Structure 1
Amino acid sequence: VDRALQLLDAGADPQAMPLPEWRDQRSLPALAAVLPDLRLLRELIVRRVDVNQPHRGMTPLLAATRDSWHGRPDAVMTLLANGADPRASDNDGNTPLHHAVRSSDPGVAALLRDAAAELDALNNEGHSPLAMACQVGNWRLAKFLLERGAHSEPEGGAPVLLAAAGTEEDDPAGVQLLLKHKARVDARDRQRRSALHEAALAGHGDIVEALLAAGA
């Protein structure tokens, strides 16, 4: 970081993009957003670098939420305070909130929600942040989103109950959480698959039992 700051003081272009042959294609602001030391990010903001400028579909805010398991709350807060768009999406249609739900700490998701991130935004596969949380079995984040108004059947998207039923672990906690929040046990996706189909396909006996007990 010290060397980067010295180069900026010496006249290096903060807007310069990576050369095509470079392996890491993140822009300088995106790289600065994932560093533990925020001095470079703050200096780029002082120099009026556009915090919403995407490079290969990646903005600094998307990088801060995607490229760190803990979500980089300090960087996220700094970017949001300086105009970063919480509704921007990457090339796969994922918003910062889609990435933030992988973290066990809801702090970043809370920051994004307070900045008017769309709770039911859909990625290119029709999955909402709530569905992503269920896919990775992050029930703490799923509960956080549900309590703040996320829908189990987002308009135009796949029913989230299917994601909870097909998660990697045979853990009925997610299905039970969604059913408690009024998810329809017989909801189907565009291919007419139900949560019971997904659980059976994944070999999840405990989840199948929970769904049958709920009326599937």
Structure 2
Amino acid sequence: AASNDHVETMKLWLAKGADIKRADSDGYPALNWAAEHGQVDAARYLLANGAELDLPVNSGATPFISACIHGRVDVARFLLESGADIEKRDRNG
């Protein structure tokens, strides 16, 4: 849902008790999926509802790093404005 900007679906999942910080089987929390796919509205919703801004995936990439790697400028800007730590590094430095 996060990677496709389906905010209404995320609202339903959270209402049913989904853990917004939990990673999927690939090790990605929802905010990282939103960032990687350029979904600003989903990222905004997730952060407003408790997602961790700098939570890394298995590779060490934070949502900000994922947005940058995939050229998602709008999401990267939003994450920076929200306080993303630009000093964090993934396993590639």
* TM-score > 0.5 by shorter chain: yes
For 1:158, the equivalent position in structure 2 comes to: 90
Partner SS for 2:36: coil
For 1:5, the equivalent position in structure 2 comes to: none
For 1:149, the equivalent position in structure 2 comes to: 83
Select the structure of larger CA radius of gyration: 1
How much is the aligned-residue C-alpha RMSD, in angstroms?
1.9
Deviations 1:90-119 (A, max 9, x none): 233210001011344411111110111011
Runs (5+) with no aligned partner, structure 1: 1-63, 163-188, 190-216
Change (3 A) 1:125 1:103: closer
* TM score, norm. by length of structure 2: 0.86
Aligned mate of 1:127, from 45, 48, 61: 61
Do 2:67 and 2:76's aligned partners in 1 also have CA atoms closer than 8 Å? yes
For 1:65, the equivalent position in structure 2 comes to: 2
Deviation, 1:133, is 0.3
**How do 1:129-208 residues align onto structure 2 when only pairs under 5 Å count?**
129-154=63-88, 157-158=89-90, 189=93
Runs (5+) with no aligned partner, structure 2: none
Q: Distance in 1 between matches of 2:58 and 2:9?
A: 26
For 1:106, the equivalent position in structure 2 comes to: 40
Q: Which runs of 4+ in 1 moved over 6 A?
A: none
Partner SS for 1:101: helix
Deviation, 1:158, is 2.4
Identical-residue share of aligned pairs (%): 33
Deviation, 1:131, is 0.5
Q: Distance in 2 between matches of 1:106 and 1:82?
A: 23
Structure number with greater CO (CA < 8 Å, separation at least 6) is 2
